[in-house]
Amino acid sequence: MARKLSDYPVHLGLGATATEQPSFTGMAWYGDYEARTAADGIEGRLVSMHTFDAPWDAWEMHPSGAEVVLCTAGSITLVQEVDGREVRTVLSAGEYAINPPGVWHTADVDRPATALFITAGVGTAHRPR
């Protein structure tokens, strides 16, 4: 059955599994996801897709693994905090960047843009921007 990744993220788990997740409902969804997939530990990956029409209002950081950010439509500016300074990388459709483990990051957009994320989400932290 075909599903929209923006509505139904996928969990990549141990043993090369791929499991459809319940419909994405907002930020609280992530806590439920972490509980559902806890047995996979830091090896599990969340594959999700989101469209943004404004800059993010928070920073996030994934301490347990790298995150791939692939722009699929529009343009997104990935902002990473590296050695106390902001590093900005503009991604156009088809381009990707990697958020290394432990690197705080956020994003800017000035018109709608869509990105696919492959995230090592265990222990993800957020802080206001």
Model confidence, pTM: 0.94
Q: Strands 85-92, 113-119: parallel, antiparallel or unpaired by DSSP?
A: unpaired
DSSP class of residue 16? Answer: G
Q: Where is 33: in which H helix or E strand?
A: helix 28-36
Average pLDDT of span 91-107: 98
H helical segments located in the chain: 28-36
pLDDT of residue 1: 86
31-85 tens-digit pLDDT: 899 999 999 999 999 999 999 999 999 999 999 999 999 999 999 999 999 999 9
Q: Which of 6, 113, 9, 122 is nearest to 64 (CA)?
A: 122
The domain ranges of the chain are 10-128
Superfamily of domain 10-128: Jelly Rolls (2.60.120.10)
Say how far apart CA 106 and CA 120 lie, in whole Å: 16
